[in-house]
Chains A and B, each alone.
Chain A
Amino acid sequence: MTARVGRAAGIVTAAAVLAIALPFVANGYFVGVGFTLLVWIALTESWIVISGMTGYISLGHVVFVGIGAYIAAMTWLVLPIWAILPLAGLAAAALAMFVGYPCLRVRGPYFVILTFGISELVKYIVVNIEAALAVSGRVLFGAPGVETLYLMALALAWASVIIALVVRDSRFGSALRAIRDNEEAAETIGVAIGRFKAAAFVLSSVIPGMVGALMIMRSTYFDPQIFSPQTSVLIVTMAVIGGSDRPLGPALGVGFLILLQELLWANLPQLYMIVVGALLIAVVVWLPGGIYVRLQQMITAAGR
């Protein structure tokens, strides 16, 4: 680990330690907002391990959230929480391993559409399983309170930022970027592209699986609609608005959108979505690199 990454990791860790205090000083509303914020940071930061670094844009990341949530719902009250969370992560990793190799053989728009298709397929399979079992939604009794969930989400968000930082700085990360820039060239100089892509895909699926478990503990309810494609799209949107090339960019995008959501969602949900759409267009067309890069440029310019 280089000194620069060590410092960034140190700052992130210090921020996480400070954030532990929130449930003890703030009321339930702010802890709830904090939970949402952390959950989305965990999701977008894990997404960039595959999509930001290799350029394989996954539009189906919600499938890992959904499968983790489903496993958690089925093992709820059967297993203790400390066993459910890792199990949800493992289930997501197993799914990623199963679909990763075949999916990552196709590129560009085919991969984007394929990941979307797979997440929808898994959703409809779960819908049909639940219908066959005659279950319409599962209620989770005795879920932990928002303060406990907040701390768990904090741990996941911290872990996913650290993973993104460390991977980016490692030889593994260089290999992934080589794949993004020129896959044939990377293969020629001896990067085991198949294995690296699959490894990144599996690595990016574990935290979303655990996040899925946390999300249903928060809503105390499981419904196959948790596999909503909107979640996948929001992950991509947040990462892109923030800037998916830098490890801290996505977190900025999340903060920005969640703030906007809190301001507008309750009264004007449609206006919120319109603003999100307009922001997305504006960033892609006029601000490539995202707001993080632009902020950095502004800070550098101001420092001169």
Chain B
Amino acid sequence: MFTQLLIAALVAGSIYALIALGLNLIYGTMRLLNVAHGEVVMIGAYVAYWGISLLSVGPLVSALVAISLAAALGALIYLGLFRRAMRSAEFMERIEGNSLLVFFGVSVILQNVTSLLFTPNQRGYRYQDEIVHVIGATVPVNKLIVLAIAGAVCGAAVLFFRVSTLGLAIKALIQQREAAALVGIPLARVELTTLCLGFAAAGLAGVLVSMTEEISPFMGFPLTVTAFVVVILGGLGNVLGSLIGGLLLGVLETFGVALTAPSYRSIMIYVVFIAVLLLRPQGLLGAGKSRT
């Protein structure tokens, strides 16, 4: 029973971590609150669904398309909406509120365009759903695939921010924006890349979600909320924090629901969320200084 729950917690947690990673990168580098993040996940899920039902292409292949499409959307949004606006002092003064509104508009458009094109109905497909036994637990293969891919990408992300030049440049931007510009980091290019990377991760997460769950045009909103909870747990702008936060939330949710009842799931998540915001707004892992 314990291993069963633990694997379920890890699967959920790795997906949460992957979604939250992109959200946190985008906030960290540009102070943009991307409330359309869940909709990018939704688009990835639809790419996988149409890939397998129309073209009989497996989700692992569609993932490449989903990633490119999501990244392209990120680039479009940055170049079309934010590049110019972010030069205006008036916009930047309330960048968080303004970006929240812009992304909310984006999310509403994406939801309703998808709903117009593909109907608002729930859809799903079967993929690798035979059951296997792993260390005493019974798990469908697709969940193991999800865990392996999400885990590998999160691990690669940690490495990326440790060793690669681009990763270090992004981290520099998160920590000290002005200083990063002074030492010659091309802000606009790094920002564009970060937005594309964050969106790409969300697109991939969508493919993974569609392998185990039903999808719909309105599936994104709860995912956005969960991702925000994870980011707050780990600390806004803290990349490693959001990975740990994702796993933590996966464990909390799975074991919490197993110990109480599924109807308490949302209450539990929001209580943790509000408690962290009020008591440690810098995140569980954040340093002592609170950032306002």
Which A residues are closer than 8 A to B by beta carbons? 55, 57, 59, 102-103, 105-110, 112-114, 117-118, 120-121, 124-125, 127-128, 131, 229, 233, 236-237, 240, 270-271, 273-274, 276-281, 284-285, 288
Contacts and interface: CB of A to CB of B under 8 A. Distances in A.
A114 B236 CA distance: 14
Instruction: Please name the 7 residue pairs, one residue from A and one from B, whose CB atoms are nearest each other, closest first.
Output: A277-B108, A280-B105, A281-B105, A121-B270, A277-B109, A277-B105, A270-B112
Contact of A120 (B94, B100, B270, B281): B270
Given A277-B105, A285-B102, A108 B267 contact: no
Given A237-B101, A270-B116, 16 more contacts: A106-B277, A110-B281, A114-B274, A117-B273, A117-B277, A128-B263, A270-B113, A270-B115, A277-B106, A280-B101, A280-B104, A284-B102, A284-B105, A285-B91, A285-B102, A288-B88
Contacts of B111: 273
Nearest to A269: B112
Given A106-B281, A277-B112, A285-B85, A121 B267 contact: yes
A129 to B, nearest CB: 11
Contact of A273 (B100, B108, B266): B108
Interface residues of B, number: 43
Interface string B77-121: 000010011001011001011101110111111011101100000
Contacts of A127: 263
A233 B36 CA distance: 13
Given A109-B236, A117-B274, A281-B81, A131 B263 contact: yes
A124 B108 contact: no
Interface of B is mostly: helix
B109 A278 contact: yes
A240 B274 contact: no
A106 B278 contact: yes
Contacts of B174: none
Nearest to B273: A117
A57 B112 CA distance: 25
Contacts of B97: 55, 57, 112
Nearest to A289: B90
B278 A102 contact: yes
Contacts of B84: 285
Nearest to A281: B105
Interface in B226-276: 228, 232, 236, 263-264, 266-267, 270-271, 273-274
21 contacts: A106-B278, A109-B27, A110-B277, A110-B281, A121-B274, A124-B266, A127-B263, A128-B267, A131-B263, A236-B101, A270-B113, A270-B115, A273-B108, A273-B111, A273-B112, A274-B116, A280-B108, A281-B101, A284-B102, A285-B102, A288-B88
Contacts of A102: 278
Contacts of B221: 229
Contacts of B263: 127-128, 131
B96 A112 contact: yes
B169 interface: no
A237 B108 CA distance: 12
Nearest to B96: A109
A106 B106 CA distance: 27
B124 to A, nearest CB: 22
Given A124-B266, A281-B81, A107 B104 contact: no
A271 B107 CA distance: 14
Contacts of A240: 101
Nearest to B36: A277
A107 B290 CA distance: 11
A120 B33 contact: no
Given A109-B96, A112-B33, A274-B112, A280 B278 contact: no
B225 interface: yes
B165 interface: no
A112 B232 CA distance: 12
A113 B108 contact: no
B164 interface: no
A269 B62 CA distance: 31
A240 B84 CA distance: 20
Contacts of B273: 117
B292 interface: yes
B245 to A, nearest CB: 14
Contacts of A280: 101-102, 104-105, 108
A127 B267 CA distance: 10
A106 B283 CA distance: 13
A271 B116 contact: yes
A285 B96 CA distance: 13
Nearest to A105: B278
Interface in B110-145: 111-113, 115-116
A273 B264 CA distance: 31
Nearest to B282: A110
Contacts of A128: 263-264, 267
A288 B116 CA distance: 30
A233 B33 CA distance: 15
Contact of A109 (B33, B81, B106, B270): B33
Nearest to A270: B112
A3 B221 CA distance: 47
Contacts of B106: 277, 281
A304 to B, nearest CB: 25
